[in-house]
Amino acid sequence: MAGNGDRPKVGILALQGDFREHCQVFDELGVEAVEVRRHEDLEGLAGVVVPGGESTTIGRMMVESGLLDGIRSYFYKGGPVWGTCAGMVLAASATTGPRQPLLGLMNALVERNGFGRQVHSFEADLDVEGFDAPFTGVFIRAPFFEDVGPGVEVLSEIDGRVVAARGENILVTAFHPELTDDRRFHEYFLREVCGIERSQ
């Protein structure tokens, strides 16, 4: 899938959270970043990012805006999706915590705030499948996958806790690549999940 015009378009869900940081990175990589607030904004996108923020708030706003069903439909038609932090929670099929709206795009059980509250935020050098050097992950009230099912490829773990994974047309990260100067995860999403060979 590709956007119209000279540059491919990637949509960033812009209801709440750190969507502006993702927009800036994609612009730097030569991709047009589109802020997604309505179902109609999903048209013509080469990929969609569900960013970090507060997962219950984002989930509620997605229901109210029609984007919960909209992104599900986009995904099940083959549209690439990347969930970071809260987006990883929303992408899961089930959560260990209180019930909340979920997209249910990945066969996984997620633990919200799995590494503790915001005061327990930390950085960690991660070994990532396919990366030739460690990636520094920024973890802020980060989730992790407690269990994954068939069709989920684990890309990185901390002490057996899954913090990055992918499926056929989905990528999830428990951390915030957009808060670092390392662009490899954004490039990975564009290349490996969206099928965009050149991002610049």
23 is catalytic: no
DSSP class of residue 192 equals: I
Between CA 156 and CA 134 the distance in angstroms is 10
Residues 71, 162: contact at Cβ < 8 Å?
A: no
Could you give the residue ranges of the DSSP H alpha helices within the chain?
Answer: 19-28, 55-65, 67-76, 86-91, 184-188
Beta bridge partners of 87: none
Between CA 29 and CA 195 the distance in angstroms is 15
Residues 176, 84: contact at Cβ < 8 Å?
A: yes
Q: How many residues does this entry show for the chain?
A: 200
Catalytic residue among 22, 23, 32, 176: 176
Catalytic residue among 85, 111, 186, 194: 85
Tell me the two tokens of residue 145. 């996958």
What's the CA angle centered on 200, arms 179 and 139, to 5 degrees? 15
Catalytic residue among 22, 178, 186, 194: 178
Show Cβ contacts of residue 144 under 8 Å, excluding neighbours closer than 6 positions: 110, 111, 114, 115, 158, 161, 162, 163, 174
194 is catalytic: no
178 is catalytic: yes
Tell me the two tokens of residue 102. 């979920």
Enumerate the active-site residues.
85, 176, 178
